[in-house]
Amino acid sequence: MQVSNKIKSPYVSCNKYLINGELSQWEGPMAEVASNIYLTEKLGSFEPTIIGKVPDMDEKVALNALESAVNAFSRGKGLWPTMKVKERIACMEKFVHIMATKRKIIVELLMWEIGKNKADAAKEFDRTVEYIFDTIEAYKKLDRKSAKFDTEGNIRAHVRRGPLGVVLCLGPYNYPLNETFSLLIPALIMGNTTVFKPAKLGVLLITPLLEAFQEAFPKGVVNVLFGRGRKIAAPIMKTGKVDVLALIGHSTSAVALQDLHPYKNRLRLILGLEAKNPGIILPDADMDLTIKECISGTLSYNGQRCTALKILFVHESIVDDFIAKFSKAVDTLNFGLPWEDGSFLTPLPEIQKPNYIKGLIKDAESKGAKVMNQKGGEMLPNYCFPAIMYPVNEQMDLYHEEQFGPVIPIVSFKDIDEPLNAMANSDYGQQVSLFGEDVKQLGPLIDTLANLVCRVNLNSSCQRGPDVYPFTGRKNSAVGTLSVFDALRSFSIRTFVASKDNKYNNAILQELLNSDHSNFINTEYLL
Ligand code: G3H
């Protein structure tokens, strides 16, 4: 199915990068970008398809990008951090309108670079555009609340939210557009300046936006680098000039980067990290609904979502019935190329992932679990068909590891304390899905679960969206909260002007308000 000479792959060669408002030509080494979708077979082995190349940058240019962001912030004096809110919003609107014209190529690259199916790739793009518009609205709302003075005691105050400084933005490969932008956009609109490096996969799809960044924002506000994190993010962190590390990815990368920063107390962290969200299926759960939600929860985008259901705890009284029906449903899922109609399962973008998944299956088998569905574990060069593994126990890697791929461990339980203890002992604390209907049992359970994770999904799979809801986690799963509104808070700090409430000061404040001398002291109501 994956070898076809009829399909034309895209090819994008980008030798440009954006620093200090200039799209410069990269003269150094380039890195090829390979898609794990195969179009050719050479000597009996499948070959990834080369779909483009990007600069493989080094420390020197990384530090130039940082310097550009530092200069654009200019100790808080820069054009961008002091600009009127409505002017920053105008820049953002300009950007999103140009971005909207790049939908076709970006959706195509999402399919080729990370194997996301067409519907989900389109959704990722559209959701990101919507996120930008929603962020603009949320910022106007926030700003309206600041368009006033407060008086407490004899102190008059004008309280606003101000930027933090220079933000290093690093996104993940599974949502290379949406999640990267869910950091970058609020960081920018709040007046910070940024250095941004696309994820390890899903790099080419950023290149059609370079000119949009250049046209929409003042120089130095957005700086875009390409290359390996180790080579370019590490030296940037070592300088101590980064005020905010905004990263969605793995905690090991976040901790390694944080450790390089010489002044840890000055570094604000906004992190979306790994998770092992469990599904807990109670004896009275509606079976059909539960199967449907568990399919989308475990296998949307092949399970490569931080919010995916990564372990299912099923009550022992229904576990056989659940496994029989769930296995049947999994085996009917369509595997195909991302752009083919009805492809639900698609090639895995990481070359080593099928073997890693196979390794988890073998480890579980060697410790007593079995593959429960007929097609489970069938291998293709770039895929491993989803395997339902049962009975899984604590000795198996699959019980603990965030598999981030198509394999589903099932654990049966007798006493509800078993899954609750497992969650309490786990390193993660993002979300849970709870299936059942008896309110006498659900009520107290919800009360406990809400203290173990940050979102309890009742008879529904776990997910991040809608983006207006808070997205966060406990333990190793997150630092800070992201949502359209929360992200504006995360990337800013409350800062205000205070004065003794007397004639002398009030006259000065009034004059400031009547003049154009300060963008901060401003009570303009943004419609
Ligand atoms: O990888 C984690 C994403 O935040 C998941 O987002 O639940 O919308 O797929 P999603």
Question: Which residue in the block uniquely carries the two structure tokens 């290149």?
Answer: 207
Residue type, 181: F
Give the mutation target among 306, 403, 462, 477 for probing the ligand 1 site: most ligand atoms within 8 A of CB: 306
Find the 464 Cα to ligand 1 centroid distance in Å: 5
Specify the pTM.
0.96
Find the 388 Cα to ligand 1 centroid distance in Å: 22
Quote the mean pLDDT of the chain: 96
Q: Is the pLDDT of residue 14 over 60?
A: yes
pLDDT band of residue 1 (cuts 50, 70, 90) is: very low
pLDDT band of residue 5 (cuts 50, 70, 90) is: low
Q: Pick the atom of ligand 1 nearest to 304's CA.
A: 1
Rounded CA separation 15/272 (Å): 30
What percent of the chain has pLDDT above 70?
98
Give the per-residue pLDDT at 527. 87
For 115-170, what is each residue's pLDDT tens digit? Answer: 999 999 999 999 999 999 999 999 999 999 999 999 999 999 999 999 999 999 99
Token readout for 479 is 């630092």
Give the per-residue pLDDT at 524. 87
Find the 387 Cα to ligand 1 centroid distance in Å: 22
Give the per-residue pLDDT at 45. 75
pLDDT band of residue 7 (cuts 50, 70, 90) is: confident
- Mean pLDDT value across residues 390-395: 98
Find the 307 Cα to ligand 1 centroid distance in Å: 5
Strand, helix or coil at 11? coil
Residue type, 342: G
Closest to 185 in 3D by CA, of 207, 208, 216: 216
Q: Is the pLDDT of residue 43 over 80?
A: no
Tell me the H-state helices in 280-367: 287-299, 319-331, 353-366
Q: Is the pLDDT of residue 391 over 50?
A: yes
For 256-277, what is each residue's pLDDT tens digit? Answer: 999 999 999 999 999 999 999 9
Closest to 127 in 3D by CA, of 93, 100, 105, 89: 100
**Cα dihedral angle (250, 305, 275, 403), rounded to 10 degrees?**
-80
Q: Pick the atom of ligand 1 nearest to 272's CA.
A: 4
Rounded CA separation 225/469 (Å): 31
Find the 305 Cα to ligand 1 centroid distance in Å: 5
Rounded CA separation 506/316 (Å): 72
Give the per-residue pLDDT at 8. 87
Tell me which residue has its CA closest to atom 7 in ligand 1. 463
Q: Is the pLDDT of residue 106 over 70?
A: yes
For 240, left (φ over 0), alpha (ψ -120 to 50), or beta? left
Give the per-residue pLDDT at 109. 98
- Mean pLDDT value across residues 62-83: 98
What percent of the chain has pLDDT above 90?
94
Q: Pocket residues for ligand 1 (CB within 6 Å)?
A: 174-175, 179, 305-307, 463-465
Q: Pick the atom of ligand 1 nearest to 172's CA.
A: 1
Give the per-residue pLDDT at 46. 80
Burial class of residue 444 in the structure, from the number of CB atoms within 10 Å of its CB (0-12 exposed, 13-18 middle, 19+ buried):
exposed
- Mean pLDDT value across residues 430-443: 98
- 6 or 399: which carries more pLDDT confidence? 399
Give the per-residue pLDDT at 47. 83
